[in-house]
Structure 1
Amino acid sequence: MNKFISRLLVAALPLSFAACSDDDGPDHEIETVTVSNGAFIVNSGNLRNNIPGSLTFIDYATGQALQDVFKAANGRVLGDTPQNAVVYGSKMYIAVYQSNLIEVVDRVSLKSLKTIPFDASEGQEPRFVLAHEGKVYASMYNGYVQRIDTLSLSIDGAVKVGPNPEEMCVAGDYLYVANSDGMNYQNGYADGCTVSKIALGSFTEEKKINVGINPTKMASDGNNVYVITMGDYSAANPATLRQIVNDNTVNAIAPATLMGAGAGKLYFINAPYGASSIDYKVLDTATGTISAFPVSGVDSPAAIAVDPVVGDVFVTSYNMVGGYASYSTPGYVEQYKADGSLVKHYDTGVGPCYVNFNIAEVAK
């Protein structure tokens, strides 16, 4: 057995024996507790330089980062430009954008269980996946959201949204989808000013909410919904963190380009291209209070995420080469406590664009 996968199996075994799998049906007679034993870093690679995407696993128990764990488990590369992943029940679902597929793997062994391809009739080029109540939802860059049943691993529904949808989140009985119109940048993202609000029960679009130019990032604490509109990358239309409130109105909060929610907090970064400094803040979602998050030394942040169980914050970054962010060499991720104190620095693959946590319900 490959030594990397052997170590990953050891890290995950306590989860696999007692976990109540969301897609296999929970055992309500067993009292459980939520635990987290590590973080998966999705590395997008670089298509232009023929660098495939990869997966890094950070093992909390050993404090080590295991590189290219999907390839080690399956004997093949993950694909071109994976964008994100979600662990749900006994499986992990990985959106591989330019390979036009979702890779479904066993969360413990990382062995591929199924590769779900897409054609034009079903939607193409998955950008983002999330899981909720026995379903996995995938935003497709040609303007659809697909719904995947986690038992059959087949598509059981689709809804048309806006152009070039990006990230999504769930709050209450609704799925929110950012419609970026990202391929229409030459026309100022003319149709990329909305978030689609989809009723989960009927799986139909109920409303398009006007939020601002080029919405891409989305997050929720289960009640509050947040979106980052990237603007047109000019001083006149800067990237902005906004909140969608219950009456579907939208409030601007602060300049921001990246965000991650968890443990009752929304951590956000403002790092526009060419900026001389990077701003890190944290929003208490219950009170609305914003305070500084004292991070320093990150070169060029690519993503931020919060382990909802442990509460630690992870910031991924490109390395600098010749004074510029390098998109063709390995990056890194730094783990922080909620007070901003550094826990550890880890190396990653090329283009560390997303962080997902290995969380499960285990018997007490």
Structure 2
Amino acid sequence: MKKSLSNLAVFGLLALTFASCKKEYGIIPEEQTKVPGQISSINGLYVLNEGNWGSNKASLDYYDYASGTYRKNIFNEANPGVTLGLGDVGNDIQIYGSRLYIVVNSSNKVEVLDVKTAKRIGKVDIPNSKYITFYKDNAYVTSYEGYVSVIDTATITEKARIKVGREPEEMAVVGDKLYVANSGGYTPSNYEKTVSVIDLKTNLEIKKIDVAVNLNRLKADKYGDLYVTSRGDYGKIQSNLFLIDTKKDEVVKAFDIRISNLTIHNDMAYYFGITYDENWNSIASYGKINIKDETKLEGNFITDGTDKKIKSPYGIAVDPLNEDIYITDAKDYVSPGALYRFNKSGVKVFEVSTGDLPAHLVFYTNPKK
């Protein structure tokens, strides 16, 4: 009897130790919240929470359209054998075919999951990985080591590296060319200011386009143009948005707007920008650009005053079917954030708590058989 009690005590101690380890690494049990559902051929929305650098608190959430259920931290539930969870700093998330790809920057990897179940299929180790995009049978991942990694999507293995500028960020594919925004983010005294152009038939850089310092976001529209953001130098040089004509591979317009992030849907680009006053209080602004005639529209796309409640806008996406707008709020950058959904008229539909630093959003539609 004493032996049995002793074993129970040991088991209990191990359980407590395991639980404390889980807590230490930021892994928490799955949480569910009910929010308004909707009828749509879109199944739902994946939300990638970055988690602060060094905290190992990157996490994956999922909003199910039909049931109106928002589930937090689903990677850990689907992959209990991955003891450290998703990892450190979730930096990008994309769907390609039947797989969900998650770039985890400080954990130096790309996780490849089944898009239906979020179960791990495989992973690729890439130092200082940042963003991902796709072309035919390849995935392309930027690495802050100064190259783009080429991954074979069939075997989930790295097969080539393409040298680009310093600290490359987002990418976009137009035709047979890959465009890469170079930042030089590690060297503020000498930022990069170019977009690399890669010929995808040869996987070689064929040109660099001069744009502006410290580039970050890069989005392609349906007309073959690129919208690329510059973060400036956080001082004298303000953030800005530039337009690149990919037929000429040159900058054709500067919009002179303060911008932090953007998304493009049909003929509209939705964006927000964050600036700071003399006391370093953040000031957020929201706007739209008509990409057909390349003009900035007047007014705020959030129309009900909720923008005053959003402390630190961080991620943005637009439902491709009903044009609802999703904005994430990083709040104080160390606590759980929030996801806001607005209808296309700019009125809030719901707000729900997320993981830490909700940043990257992707819509999931189950392909018809």
Say if 1:35 and 1:362, in contact at 8 Å, map to a contact too: no
Q: Distance in 2 between matches of 1:200 and 1:335?
A: 37
- Give the alignment's TM-score, normalised by structure 2: 0.81
Relative distance call for 1:241 and 1:310 in structure 2 (3 A) is same
Unaligned runs of at least 5 residues, structure 2: 1-28
Q: Amino acid of the residue matched to residue 356 of structure 1?
A: V
Residue 314 (str. 1) matches residue 326 (str. 2): yes
Q: Which has the larger radius of gyration?
A: 2
Q: 288, 292, 301: which one pairs with 1:282?
A: 288
Letter in 2 for 1:114: G
Matched with 1:294 is 301
Question: Is the Cα–Cα contact under 8 Å of residues 263 and 317 in structure 2 kept in the other structure?
Answer: yes
User: Quick one: which amino acid aligns to residue 68 of structure 1?
Assistant: N
Counterpart code for 1:135: N
Can you give the 5+ residue segments of structure 1 that lack an aligned partner in the other structure?
12-33, 119-123, 320-325
Q: Is residue 125 of structure 2 the alignment partner of residue 117 of structure 1? A: yes
> Structure 2: how far apart are the matches of 1:346 and 1:6?
10
Give me the CA root mean square deviation: 2.2
Which one-letter code corresponds to 1:293 in the other structure? Answer: N
1:304 equivalent to 2:316? Answer yes
SS state at 1:157 partner: strand
| CA distance in 2: counterparts of 1:214 and 1:78, whole angstroms | 28
- Helix, strand or coil for the counterpart of 1:361? coil
**1:343 pairs with 2:345:** no
Equivalences, count: 320
* Match in the other structure for 1:362: 368
Relative contact order higher in (CA < 8 Å, ≥ 6 apart): 1
Deviation at 1:35, TM superposition (A): 4.1
1:79 aligns with 2:91: no
Report the AA paired with residue 200 of structure 1: L
2:174 alignment partner, one of 156, 165, 171: 171
Letter paired with 1:300: S
1:241 aligns with 2:238: no
Q: Which residue of 2 aligns with 1:94?
A: 102
Q: 1:153 matched to which residue of 2?
A: 156
Conserved in 2, the CA contact under 8 Å of 1:263 and 1:311? no
The C-alpha deviation readout for 1:152-201, integer Å capped at 9, x for no partner, is: 1122222100010011111222111111000112x142xx1001111122
Give the counterpart letter for 2:208 in structure 1: K
Q: Is the 8 A contact 1:263 1:307 kept in 2?
A: no
| CA pair 305-70 structure 1, distance change in 2 beyond 3 A | same
Structure 2 distance, partners of 1:347, 1:213, is 35
Conserved in 2, the CA contact under 8 Å of 1:199 and 1:205? yes
1:62 is the counterpart of 2:62: no
| Counterpart residue number, 1:14 | none
What's the counterpart of residue 228 of structure 1? Answer: 229
TM-score by length of 1: 0.83
Residues 155 and 163 (structure 1), Cα distance of their counterparts in 2 relative to 1, 3 Å cut: same
User: 2: distance between equivalents of 1:152 and 1:105?
Assistant: 13
| Separation in 1, partners of 2:68, 2:149 | 36
- More displaced stretch, 92-101 vs 130-139: 130-139
Of 251, 254, 257, which aligns to 1:252? 254
8 Å contact from structure 2 (residues 275, 282) kept in 1: no
Distance, in Å, in 1 between the alignment partners of 2:281 and 2:270 is 19
* Counterpart Cα distance in 2 of 1:69 and 1:264: 34
Structure 2 partner of 1:209: 209
Cα distance in 2 between the residues matched to 1:81 and 1:103: 12
Q: 1:210 to 1:35 in 2, by over 3 A?
A: farther
Q: Give the stretch that moved more between structures: 296-305 or 269-278.
A: 269-278
What secondary structure does 1:255 align onto? Answer: coil
Runs of 4+ in 1 over 3 A off after TM superposition: 3-7, 273-277
2:267 is matched with 264
* 3-state SS of 1:71 partner: helix
